Amino acid sequence: MTYSLPDICSIIGATASSVSAAIITEISWDSRRIITPAGTLFFALHGARRDGRQFIAQLYQQGVRSFVTSEPGLDTLYSGAVFLRVTDPLQALQQLAAYHRSRFSLPVIGITGSNGKTIVKEWLYQLLHSRYNIVRSPRSYNSQIGVPVSVWQIEPQHNLAIFEAGISQPGEMEKLQAIIQPTIGVLTNIGEAHSAGFINRQQKLDEKLLLFKEAGIIIYCNDNDAVDQAVRKLPNARLSWGHNPEADILVVQSTASTTQTHIQLLYKEQPVEFSIYFTDEAAIENAITCAAVLLALGCEPVFIQEHMLLLQPVNMRLELKKGINNCVLINDSYSADINSLQNALQFLSQQSSSLTKTAILSDFIQAATDDSTLYGQILQALQENGVQKLIGIGPAISQALQQRSANQGMELQLYSSTESFIHQFRPSQFKDEAILVKGARIFGFEQLVPLLEQKAHQTVLEINLNALISNVKQYQQQLRPDTKIMAMVKAFAYGSGGAEIAGILQFHKVDYLGVAYADEGVELRKAGITLPIMVMNPEPAAFENIITYNLEPDMFSPEIFRAFSAFVAQEGLQHYPVHIEIETGMNRLGFLPEQWKELAMQLSQSSLLKVQSVFSHLAASEDAQEDAYTFAQFEKYNQAVGVLQQYLHYPFIKHIANTSAIGRLPQLQLDMVRLGIGMYGVGNIPGLQQVATLKTTVAQVKTLEAGETVSYNRRGVLQRTSKIATVRIGYADGYNRKLGYGNAYVLVHGQQAPVVGTVCMDMTMVDVTGIADVNTGDEVVIFGKDLPIQQLATWAGTIPYEIMTGISQRVKRVYFEE
């Protein structure tokens, strides 16, 4: 649906000096995700660190002309733009979404709970899309911003809506209720997740139930007495399920086999039976919740029985892998529907700024939308996101696209089946491309991914991009709103992959990047990174690349200062950006106190160089016992800054705090901090998540008798009959030889398996005696969530930095976004 700006102005109670008759088709709060600028209304939201107003100029240049803001007087700065002024842009966004929702009388399922919201929502979509034209929350858009953006998607053709609602503190759910206005309420469960903002679990439960205050019926599990009692106090109709005999839907039995679970329910004295291809407890609970919703909607038991067998895993992550021929591969091979396509295309854009964009799509899941309309929407989404090549696989997409002429400027290849594509596949067809693979599960696109990904052995370093950004935000919360962050991506981003990590950091608006050497910066520029990049160890041989790729070198000595100044003069440049490093006690690099005044004078007397920042390195900021030394460094640094400020009549960025100092020593924040390994979950502040998981597989399992030896030097002597697994990792992959001889363990089937004997170049042996059913090909975790990298570093007698940076380039990196 569309709205005119005058209508929106009235709906949100805004004031404006003038309002054009522009038609709004999209709302946005994220400057990175503008598809049709002329039809977009941008809400300049205020965040703890980011203020949407700072992106208005950029959006204006992109063609956006309609804004909602709290700042007056912007009309005079941007000719032709309309500024709707409100007290609180977020409240205005929510008001507009609530009004939009009120225009529709369709059934709306509102889902809340501690866990399972997204799974239940996606499974309900899988179960019901053949009967209804459904609008639902994208991914897990369930926040104060995500909910209004989700509800805005309702169109006249929809006849069922499914929205999630998540809260982190009291007072939030009442706002979400007014936006969603659910007619059917679904409570998944009440657990410990997201409990930090509440006094206790009961308060969290009471807050969540506010979502249902006007719902016609509440669907929930009554096995939890507190939940049951709280729901029974409400005036709403109820539909409970559980093992309690008082449940409206009684769980008679659930029987799990190796691959599936058979569930027997009793509803209104009639049996309801179905099977699902899942065996874990959470999946069983989510499936029964979905069955209860289907019964509430009047679905017949036979429909439930047939469709529950079709439930597929909800792929909660997009994987980013190295592809063949310098390609990047994004694996989203288990879903194909129009709602999730936009999210996948946004992820594609984050990682493909310098590559040709290619999409490989199967037939899409179709609801009450005809093929012509559906594939027209898909083509439009692809074109708006700059996709240059489309490979369609399946009879429906092939037929629909053959009949359309709207694919101007897009190379089109069509195949009737996955088998046909595989038969005709040639690796040379793909080069320097970012390839999105997105297909319905029945098309088996998991067969395509191995064809397109770069071959590597089975040891893999998985990088959770969501966790990385969550950690960055945790550190941001420790900072003043005006303090910038320089993310250190030197040493191949601590072994995680420089360009890939830099791409996600750039997308999330980190201020600066830091690398050790110029060639690292060159790699980032070639990958499309446009953020300012500081080079901490510039060498004269790299000066040409530094200037060619717009890198900013660290001036750490009189010699490098003179050499780079001469090169800049030779190139005929002026005001080239540089960074000044001050020696305060690290005794590694930097200008000494007796050199400060001369440096300042030379900078002030020449226009060759312009100082972007002045910084120093702390030697022991992680150690409270060394705080006196740290503050002495800080005092010396401030003295140097004072000398430079006397001679330089322009501002520059000041920074000295590293990862350890951000949390421990807030008084050292200054204008910017340098965040390094803290991004990966190694740090001294709460709430950090493990980002990297190093895993491999079992190559062979054998049984050996007591007295036999394992590996080189025969130092691994067995004291008992033992089952020994050889796993595919060694010191050539970065697994330290000090971890041998029982000094460390790995996780096999989630259980500890100690290392036996000497770590070899390519293999390591572990004792899996007592761990059931260990077979060739089984996964082995070297470090990760349940085996922190800090523990591995302790065993090796080193630090996490060395473990991360020591992971060999032959180890495949896989990046994913949940």
Per-residue pLDDT at 222 = 94
Per-residue pLDDT at 804 = 87
Q: Kindly report the CA angle at 790 between 785 and 794, in degrees rounded to 5?
A: 135
User: Is 421 in the same domain as 485?
Assistant: no
User: Is 326 in the same domain as 291?
Assistant: no
Strands 389-393 and 411-415: parallel
What 8-state DSSP symbol labels residue 363?
Answer: P
Per-residue pLDDT averaged across 29-52, rounded? 84
Judged against a pLDDT cut of 70, whether residue 805 lies above it is answered with yes
User: Is 211 in the same domain as 302?
Assistant: yes
DSSP for 88-146, please give it.
-HHHHHHHHHHHHHHT--S-EEEEESSS-HHHHHHHHHHHHTTTS-EEE-STT--STTH
Q: Which of 308, 332, 366 is the last residue of a domain?
A: 308
Q: Is residue 381 situated within a structural domain? A: yes
Q: Residue 526 — very low, low, confident or very high, per pLDDT cuts 50/70/90?
A: confident
User: Between 167 and 192, where is the model more confident?
Assistant: 167
Per-residue pLDDT averaged across 539-561, rounded? 94
User: Is 269 in the same domain as 331?
Assistant: no
Q: Is residue 601 situated within a structural domain? A: yes
Has 125 been annotated as catalytic? no
Per-residue pLDDT at 706 = 94
DSSP for 596-654, please give it.
HHHHHHHHHH-SSEEEEEEEE--SSTT-GGGHHHHHHHHHHHHHHHHHHHHH--S--EE
**How many domains does the structure of the chain reveal?**
5
Per-residue pLDDT at 366 = 55
Range of the domain at 348: 320-454
Lowest mean pLDDT among 81-95, 444-458, 467-481, 795-809: 444-458
- What kind and span of H or E run contains 253? strand 249-256
pTM score > 0.75 for this model? no
Which position among 321, 438, 490, 695 bears the catalytic label? 490
User: Is 281 in the same domain as 217?
Assistant: yes
Lowest mean pLDDT among 508-512, 527-531, 615-619: 527-531
Judged against a pLDDT cut of 80, whether residue 33 lies above it is answered with no
Residue 672 assigned as binding residue: no
Q: Residue 1 — very low, low, confident or very high, per pLDDT cuts 50/70/90?
A: confident
Lowest mean pLDDT among 266-270, 341-345, 607-611: 341-345
The token duo for 26 is 């999209």
User: Is 484 in the same domain as 380?
Assistant: no
Q: Is residue 685 situated within a structural domain? A: no
Per-residue pLDDT at 257 = 85
Q: Residue 491 — very low, low, confident or very high, per pLDDT cuts 50/70/90?
A: low
Q: Residue 36 — very low, low, confident or very high, per pLDDT cuts 50/70/90?
A: confident
Lowest mean pLDDT among 273-287, 494-508, 698-712: 494-508
Give the CATH number for residue 415: 3.90.190.20
Query: Residue 140's CB: how many other CB atoms inside 10 A?
Result: 16
DSSP for 561-605, please give it.
HHHHHHHHHHTT--SEEEEEEE-SSS-SSSB-GGGHHHHHHHHHH
Per-residue pLDDT at 195 = 61
How far apart, in whole angstroms, are the C-alpha atoms of residue 261 and residue 247? 21
Judged against a pLDDT cut of 90, whether residue 221 lies above it is answered with yes
Per-residue pLDDT at 423 = 87
User: Is 502 in the same domain as 558?
Assistant: yes
Per-residue pLDDT averaged across 33-39, rounded? 82
Residue 404 assigned as binding residue: no
- Cβ distance 724 to 765 under 8 Å? yes
Judged against a pLDDT cut of 70, whether residue 574 lies above it is answered with yes
Per-residue pLDDT at 408 = 61
User: Is 758 in the same domain as 702?
Assistant: yes
Q: Which of 647, 680, 713 is the last residue of a domain?
A: 680
Per-residue pLDDT at 817 = 75
Judged against a pLDDT cut of 90, whether residue 759 lies above it is answered with yes
User: Is 84 in the same domain as 190?
Assistant: no
Lowest mean pLDDT among 270-284, 441-455, 658-672: 441-455
- Taking only the tens place, the pLDDT of each residue in 652-697 is 999 999 999 998 999 999 999 999 889 988 888 888 999 999 999 9
Judged against a pLDDT cut of 70, whether residue 455 lies above it is answered with no
The token duo for 585 is 């006690």
Per-residue pLDDT averaged across 70-96, rounded? 93
The token duo for 104 is 């529709």
User: Is 514 in the same domain as 632?
Assistant: yes
Judged against a pLDDT cut of 90, whether residue 404 lies above it is answered with no
Judged against a pLDDT cut of 70, whether residue 197 lies above it is answered with yes
End-to-end CA distance of the chain: 30
- Taking only the tens place, the pLDDT of each residue in 85-98 is 999 999 999 999 99
Give the list of residues 6+ apart from residue 171 with CB closer than 8 angstroms, or none. Answer: none
Q: Is residue 423 situated within a structural domain? A: yes
Give the CATH number for residue 559: 3.20.20.10
Per-residue pLDDT at 752 = 96
Q: Which of 257, 284, 308 is the last residue of a domain?
A: 308
Q: Residue 48 — very low, low, confident or very high, per pLDDT cuts 50/70/90?
A: low
Q: Is residue 610 situated within a structural domain? A: yes
Per-residue pLDDT averaged across 608-631, rounded? 94
Per-residue pLDDT at 737 = 94
User: Between 72 and 766, where is the model more confident?
Assistant: 766
Q: Is residue 469 situated within a structural domain? A: no
- What kind and span of H or E run contains 801? helix 800-805
Per-residue pLDDT at 497 = 61
Lowest mean pLDDT among 217-231, 517-531, 705-719: 517-531
Average confidence score pLDDT of the chain:
90
Lowest mean pLDDT among 301-305, 497-501, 607-611, 644-648: 497-501
- Cβ distance 611 to 600 under 8 Å? no
Has 121 been annotated as catalytic? no
Q: Residue 543 — very low, low, confident or very high, per pLDDT cuts 50/70/90?
A: very high
Rounded to an integer, what is the distance from CA 523 to the centroid of its chain? 22
How far apart, in whole angstroms, are the C-alpha atoms of residue 462 and residue 690? 11
Q: Is residue 717 situated within a structural domain? A: yes
Q: 742-759 burial string, b = 16+ CB within 10 Å, else e?
A: eebbbbbeeebbebbbbb
User: Is 610 in the same domain as 657?
Assistant: yes
User: Is 143 in the same domain as 180?
Assistant: yes
Highest mean pLDDT among 359-363, 632-636, 659-663: 632-636
Q: Is residue 636 situated within a structural domain? A: yes
